[in-house]
Amino acid sequence: MDAMKLIIATRRSRLALWQAEHVMKLLKARHPGLEVDLLPLSTRGDELLDQRLDKVGGKGLFVKELENALADGRAQLAVHSMKDLPAELPEGFSIAAILEREDPRDAFVSARFASLKEMPKASVVGTSSLRRAAQILERYPHLEAKLLRGNVETRLAKLDRGEYDAVILAVAGLVRLGLGQRIRARLDPEDSLPAPGQGALGIECLASRKDVVELLAPLAHAGVTACVRAERAVSRAFGGSCTIPLGAFAELEGNRLRLRALVAAADGRRVARADVAGDARQPEALGELAAEDLRRQGALEILK
């Protein structure tokens, strides 16, 4: 292949830039001599900070501008947190590689309390996620879950100003930003089932760019890819956006996958849970099986 230059489209947040730079380093290490550069972009999701994502268009708000840059040739790849990527990609786009995963769990962050259990009645927990809010309210109905948007640093600043008694964030984002010391507790998946793809990075490109797909292939992690594909299949079965309180988390055990999934009412009063296992070579089929189990338990009624 002739000398080629790759441009990575990325959001401007410090975490998104860390992720893009991480992929840039991996690509340069794998392909010596390859030129790689970043194209930082502002997205609608970054601009609408005072509104709930499910009310203004969902996860696609963080992705559209990056996909536009791929479509018009300003960039050849985009790096995403898989958690932020809608389960259905637009026609012509593909996930060329899903990378090794950081800790996929949710993190409890608070200066005043060591855990959710310790928090007294009417304490305010900040989260941008309906999934996290529903699971908190199911177990601790005496707490108040309040909207918290913005990048990681903005959310921590609001906590530090006393606007919230605690916040729930992804462990992965805090660790990647060197803020792991802020974590008071890593929540067990039994207590807070992660979002599909949480902790994993994905690289998107145009499906037609076989040359780019080929360069990215060595960065893919087979085990994580199987897990994330199973998780995303559950999300896809219910419409594939962050507008619903849905969790899905798969773990590889030998050549088998264990997949836990849940769908909840926003107030946490009704929750359907599935726990299934199957062949790691057929992750989508396992995701469908979990979705079917959730439907049998009334998931569609819960989501209404």
140 Cα distance to chain centroid: 24
| 30 within 8 A of 22, measured Cβ to Cβ | no
Residue 38 identity (one-letter amino acid): L
The residue annotated as part of the active site, out of 46, 84, 106, 165, is 84
Q: Is 84 a catalytic residue?
A: yes
**End-to-end Cα separation, the chain, in angstroms:** 52
Angle of CA points 30, 32, 37, to nearest 5°: 90
Neighbours of 270 (CB within 10 A): 17
- Cβ neighbours of residue 104 under 8 Å, at least 6 residues apart? 170, 171, 172, 194, 198, 199, 200, 249
Longest dimension (CA), the chain: 64
| Positions marked active-site | 84
